[in-house]
Amino acid sequence: MSGMLSKKFVVAGRSVSRATSVNAGLLFGLFGMILMCYSFPVGPGSYANLRHLTIIIISSYIGWLPALICSVLLSISRVLFYGVAYASISASISLLIIGFCCCYISVLPWSRLRKVMVSNLISMGISFVTLSSNLRSVGRVMEFFPLQLGITLAAGLAVYYIAEYIQRSNELYAQLEHRATTDYLTNLNNLRQFHRHMDTEMARAERRGDSLSMLAIDIDHFKVINDTYGHPAGDAVLKQLARRLCNHSRSYDIVSRNGGEEFTILLPDCPLQQALRAGERIRAAVENDRFQLPLGIKVHLTVSVGVASYPENIQDADGNLLCQYADKALYAAKNSGRNKVCSADFHGEC
């Protein structure tokens, strides 16, 4: 259920933030509380259910911290739900012990299936000891425990396969979303994602009264590279240029490949003069660098840059209009000799 609620959230086998771990622990603790509502009595103050499976799953898929949080929540809720009594306290302590065991198993270099099955067996062993202590009769526990053990192991296996299915589905979903928003060659934003960012940043600039600038960047004489050295060489140049654009941009600038040899950079909270300096910094960095081709040949390149800003060049908060003026500035840079940075005004002049 949690996987279905967060299709973009793939965590198994990955390092997750502390906030994510805490939230996951709280969520699965809530699931465990829900499972308590389906308990069945096996003796005075003693109940059997599948609540420990939430600890097992969260420890196997995310790690020790959410498992610990989940076990603490279940331990506290066990006393709150059924009152302060010997059976409740012993069951609460057993949940904490299960949590610590699952935390330890979660860091072992085992497969998730092995972690789930071993954790389940250990948890049932701890539950058997707890029930025997509460009921003060091993024979009485054995009247129902074999059936509970079989159901629990089967449920754990079923939950594992369901979790694996959800995990793989979420991974595929994340891959498809990445491919839909990312340029396959450079790993920059593609044209569709560029327009999404443009709409978001333009709305934010209008709301806050900030500036928003755009750099339209085009490689000069790129066709010569493809014609002379082949398309693999052209692809290598595009990849290297993408890295250089990211390296010479601020961490929150938005770099995209809009198609072919055309790139754009959105500069939030950046007025026109500052954007011109940024464009010149990029132009100079490309001109002074050398690009490595697949055959070991190094070549020099230049780029032309067009700059447009809101509200200096356009007064309406219109992303399409900002793109048009950046393109006009780029054409002006091309027509005036290339390897230049030009700014747009209402006539598209440098």
Task: List active site positions.
Answer: 261
What is the number of other CB atoms lying within 10 angstroms of the CB of residue 59?
Answer: 30
Name the residue with tokens 């940075």: 341
Query: Which residues 6+ apart lie within 8 Å of 220 measured at CB?
Result: 301, 302, 303, 304, 334, 338, 339
14, 117 Cβ separation under 8 angstroms: no
User: What span, in angstroms and rounded, lies between the C-alpha atoms of 331 and 334?
Assistant: 5
User: And the tokens for 143?
Assistant: 């009247």
User: What span, in angstroms and rounded, lies between the C-alpha atoms of 230 and 62?
Assistant: 46
**Beta-ladder partners of 214:** 266, 308
Give, as one character, the DSSP assignment of residue 201: H
342, 336 Cβ separation under 8 angstroms: yes
User: What span, in angstroms and rounded, lies between the C-alpha atoms of 241 and 243?
Assistant: 5
Query: Which residues 6+ apart lie within 8 Å of 236 measured at CB?
Result: 291, 292, 293, 294
Distance of CA 140 to the CA centre of its chain: 50
> Largest alpha-carbon pair distance within the chain?
95
User: What span, in angstroms and rounded, lies between the C-alpha atoms of 5 and 257?
Assistant: 32
At 181, is the secondary structure helix, strand, or coil?
A: helix
195, 319 Cβ separation under 8 angstroms: yes
User: And the tokens for 199?
Assistant: 């709409």
